[in-house]
């Protein structure tokens, strides 16, 4: 969940990075009394995300700046659409401009890419989910953008759920326990509300994992044929999550195998920022 506290903490750090001792250019070139009105304009179509983040960049720079958002997060926009209006002291508006745009472009890019994946699987029951392959420090922002695009969030952090991968299972079974026994022992030590997901990379691993009573099984880098066989074998005893190298070209066929979830790291690690511009109009007070 993208909270106000998270927004302000991350945006404040970005502003401090970009102008650690102030904006030398604006402060030396622009009169202190100059005002500015700017419009956030779409240069290409997409799905909007990051409105509150965009506004926070200006508010934290100067509370005198007013930002009016014209579209909500999750809304689609077209070329030329005005997404927001910014008005206030010119120096402050220009100081915050780059940080505000960086966040809006990045988040809208993720939302737009996610929407493309979601559209590919809309005729199936599969949901598109993100992964932990996010920009360090920006996970809450990027995962909010995934939701804006119609996707779903996987576990937010290592603290949220159990997800056992091959290396975890290797350590667990080193003492001579079977995979089923090792997983059952782990589950017995967990609160009953904790979700458990286990990753497998071969068909012959499925039964031993299911026997432990896990909630989700992840079929990693399975062929389409093996995904279909895996879904049939699981037969509703757990949710089926498909992962591994998922692209826009392959996601439709993966969804059509009957899996419940498709985990797509590319939503956050490969999204291109949407081209948004801040069209600025600077004015001076009447000298009369």
Exactly one of 37, 39, 87, 98 is catalytic; name it: 98
Query: Which of 220, 226, 256, 275 does the annotation list as catalytic?
Result: 220
Selecting among 97, 130, 142, 199, the annotated active-site residue is: 199
Q: Is residue 91 among the annotated active site residues?
A: no
Helices assigned H by DSSP within the chain? 4-18, 24-29, 51-61, 90-120, 139-148, 166-172, 179-188, 206-210, 224-234, 251-255, 266-269
Q: Which listed residue (37, 133, 155, 252) is catalytic?
A: 133
8 catalytic per annotation = no
224-227 contacts: CB < 8 A, separation 24 or more?
Answer: 224/253, 224/254, 224/257, 227/254, 227/257, 227/258, 227/259
- Told to judge if 165 belongs to the known catalytic residues of this protein, a careful annotator would answer yes
39 in catalytic set: no
Q: Catalytic residue among 165, 228, 229, 252, which?
A: 165
* Cα–Cα distance for residue pair 6/217, rounded to 1 Å: 32
Cα 47 → chain centroid? 13
Q: How many residues does the chain have?
A: 288
Among candidate residues 10, 39, 30, the one with its CA nearest the CA of residue 99: 10
Q: Is 249 a catalytic residue?
A: no
The catalytic residues are 98, 133, 165, 199, 220
């Amino acid at each position: 969940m993208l909270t106000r506290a998270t927004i302000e903490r991350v945006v404040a750090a970005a502003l401090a990075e970009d102008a650690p001792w102030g904006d030398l250019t604006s402060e030396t070139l622009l009169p202190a009394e100059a005002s500015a009105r700017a419009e956030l304009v779409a240069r290409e179509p997409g799905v909007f995300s990051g409105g509150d983040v965009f506004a926070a960049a200006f508010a934290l720079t100067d509370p005198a700046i007013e930002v009016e958002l014209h579209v909500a997060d999750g809304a689609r926009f077209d070329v030329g659409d005005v997404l927001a209006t910014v008005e206030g002291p010119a120096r402050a508006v220009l100081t915050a401009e780059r940080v505000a745009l960086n966040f809006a472009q990045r988040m809208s890019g993720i939302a737009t890419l996610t929407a493309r994946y979601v559209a590919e699987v809309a005729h199936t029951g599969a949901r598109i989910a993100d992964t932990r392959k996010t920009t360090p420090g920006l996970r809450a922002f990027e995962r909010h953008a995934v939701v804006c695009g119609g996707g779903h969030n996987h576990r937010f952090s290592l603290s949220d759920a159990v997800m056992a991968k091959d290396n975890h299972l290797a350590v667990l079974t080193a003492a001579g326990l079977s995979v089923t026994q090792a997983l059952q022992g782990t589950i017995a030590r967990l609160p009953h509300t904790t979700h458990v997901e286990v990753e497998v990379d071969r068909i012959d691993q499925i039964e031993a994992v299911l026997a432990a009573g896990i909630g989700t099984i992840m079929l990693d880098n399975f062929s389409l044929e093996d995904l279909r066989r895996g879904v049939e074998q699981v037969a509703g005893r757990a949710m089926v999550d498909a992962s591994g190298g998922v692209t826009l070209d392959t996601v439709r066929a993966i969804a059509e195998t009957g899996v419940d979830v498709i985990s797509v790291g590319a939503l956050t690690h490969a999204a291109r920022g949407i081209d948004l511009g801040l069209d600025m109009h600077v004015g001076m007070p009447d000298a009369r």
